[in-house]
A and B are shown apart, each in its own frame.
Chain A
Amino acid sequence: MKEELETANRPDNTAFTQQRLPAWQPMLSAGIVIPGFVLIGLAFIGIGVALFIASQNITVLEKDYTGVEITSDCYKCSNPSDKNCTCKLDFSLSNLFEGPVFFYYGLSNYFQSQRSYGVSKDDYQLSGDLDYFKTPISACSPYQYDANQNPIVPCGSLANSMFNDTFKLYQIVNGTKKLVPFDGKGIAWWTDYNIKYRNPSVTPLKNAFNGTVKPPFWSKPAYELDTSDPSNNGFVNQDFLVWMRRAALPDFRKLYRRITEGDYASGLPAGNYSLEIGYNYPVLSFGGRKKVVFSNVSWMGGKNQFLGIAYLVVGSLCVVMSTVMLIVYAKFKFPEDD
């Protein structure tokens, strides 16, 4: 009887309860750490070289057109009260700019990452929910209702501040201007165009917007963003989608068009070019800058020297550290008897 009582209180003698589970106990030994560092260092140097070469092969042409200097043609447009101003940017290419060429507009000192600016949009409206066309959410204020209590569609400061400069590129061939064709299809993410943003399912689209007004800064309402192509009109307009995908940093660039068609399929040949800009977007009041960027891409994306150089630096540091550790290990190996 007494023995049964004793064994009843005895704890289990399993590996789990007695903390004897089979386990791997790795140690930072020299045989693992030093070769590990050498391997990682060499691998990183290899990757760094590949990235650096890929980045060097990408060509980028950036031109600021804010019109701050009095010598620039866009200086006349920098007066904000001047509407519908056009200015010209001339440049020349000495070599073939290999295609496909991507044409971006860039903004500086523009904080799309600001929190209250970034949350100022109505996801329900933008997914085509007509209930929210009548009552936009309060996060959109002050762009929620206009002075006459009409709902603004699309509401919010993110949509209201949509970039509206227009660009036309001409190549000067024998003194005449030849238009370079732009391709504006598929410049936004596939998921944005097909799933995230949906037009209300009302035909014609104009009827869905009855009783609403356009954002104050826009010159045309959303259902007139591209009247020539119904699949690019309303909330699924490619330029609108590109703008709504807000940037993380204060200096950013956004895709405007691609140059892939006709005589320019293999790139922009050497020669003189003239870019005609419809200057509508005011940035000088907050010290912002506007620029255009021509770029081609590679497997690592756009031109970014940093990644290649960082890999090379870290790889070299690893190799150096492994030498240091080897020297320390050889000299100061602690005696193994206790």
Chain B
Amino acid sequence: MQAVLSSDYSFAQFRFLERLLLVHGRWSYLRMCKFLRYFFYKNFTFTFVHFWYAFFCGFSAQTVYDEWFITLYNLVYTALPVLGMSLFDQDVNDTWSFQHPNLYVPGQLNQYFSKTAFFKCALHSVYSSVVLFFIPYAAMYDTVRDDGRDIADYQSFALLAQTCLVITVCIQLCLDMSYWTAVNQFFVWGSLAMYFVVTFSMYSNGTHINFPASFPFIGTARNSLNQPNVWLTILLTSILCVLPVVAYRFLLIQLRPTINDKVGTLTNHTGFCS
């Protein structure tokens, strides 16, 4: 009893060891590595954009995003989706894990999260931050709304940059997740919807009238998100951030398929898992 209480895992019969290692141990390693890679990616991207903006704000540490967005980004907009991925993700289901024990090898070789993987993640973040800053910058340079009024102001630019970021990291998460349960769907689309709901309510008339200094972004969402060129910029930015990843992964599956890819294809050929 004491051994059970002081151990990480305990099981009653030796035959359970196979399941513990090949199913739960493997899934745990996979989830942990995916979680870490994605978490570093979304936060590095979020931060590197400020590095690029420094050149355009006199190096005065002006944030690209609204302060409320910075507070709520890790708390509300991206917390639940990544939690869902790290709780429910499976690359192959438990039956196939038993049938193909060599799926366990990547964990032994530390392939999913090593210095190389971290470096690739950082490189991916740098690329994403370049796209996430310079596409909105070039699209908003010296342009105006369709009724001639201002759209290249700080608040509209901040809103554009943060919307691009949230949508891009959401699509990146969708690419990383390989097991979409109903809970995951709810978390991902719910967080994205939450972003728009919170943004519109923070930038509404009522919040400004009651707290003028805390909510100075009033009217920004309404005035810039009804412009076609803003939405076209958001579309271009997200697609440009995400498609190279899709192409790279597809080519990797074709040219250097791993055991997971082969087993995954077998699984899919016999129908979707349920």
Which residue numbers of A lie inside 8 Å of B, CB to CB?
19, 21-30, 33, 37, 40, 44, 47, 51, 100, 102, 104, 106, 111-118, 123-124, 126-127, 129, 137, 187-192, 195-196, 242, 245-255, 258, 295, 297-304, 306-307, 310-311, 314, 318, 321, 325, 328-329, 332-334, 336, 338
B181 at the interface (CB under 8 A from A): yes
Chain B residue with Cβ nearest A112: B154
Cα separation A104 to B149 with both chains bound (whole Å):
10
B90 at the interface (CB under 8 A from A): yes
Asked if residues A21 and B182 are in contact (CB atoms below 8 Å), the reply is yes
B264 at the interface (CB under 8 A from A): yes
A24: chain B residues at CB < 8 Å are 180, 272
B138: chain A residues at CB < 8 Å are 306-307, 310
Chain B residue with Cβ nearest A191: B219
Q: Mark B227-267, 1 if CB is under 8 A from A, else 0.
A: 11100110010011001001101110111010001111111
A-B contact sample (7 more), CB < 8 A, given A246-B153, A304-B139: A19-B94, A44-B236, A195-B208, A255-B148, A306-B141, A314-B240, A325-B254
Asked if A242 meets B255 with Cβ closer than 8 Å, knowing A25-B272, A111-B58, A302-B143, the reply is: no
Interface of A is mostly: mixed
B61 at the interface (CB under 8 A from A): yes
Give the shortest distance, in Å, between A160 (CB) and chain B (any CB).
18
Asked if A245 meets B155 with Cβ closer than 8 Å, knowing A189-B223, A329-B254, the reply is: yes
A115: chain B residues at CB < 8 Å are 57, 60-63
Cα separation A328 to B269 with both chains bound (whole Å):
21
Asked if A188 meets B149 with Cβ closer than 8 Å, knowing A33-B246, A245-B155, A332-B255, the reply is: yes
Asked if residues A307 and B236 are in contact (CB atoms below 8 Å), the reply is yes
Asked if residues A255 and B180 are in contact (CB atoms below 8 Å), the reply is no
Cα separation A22 to B178 with both chains bound (whole Å):
13
6 example contacts (A-B, Cβ-Cβ < 8 A) are as follows A23-B273, A24-B272, A51-B232, A248-B56, A249-B152, A334-B262
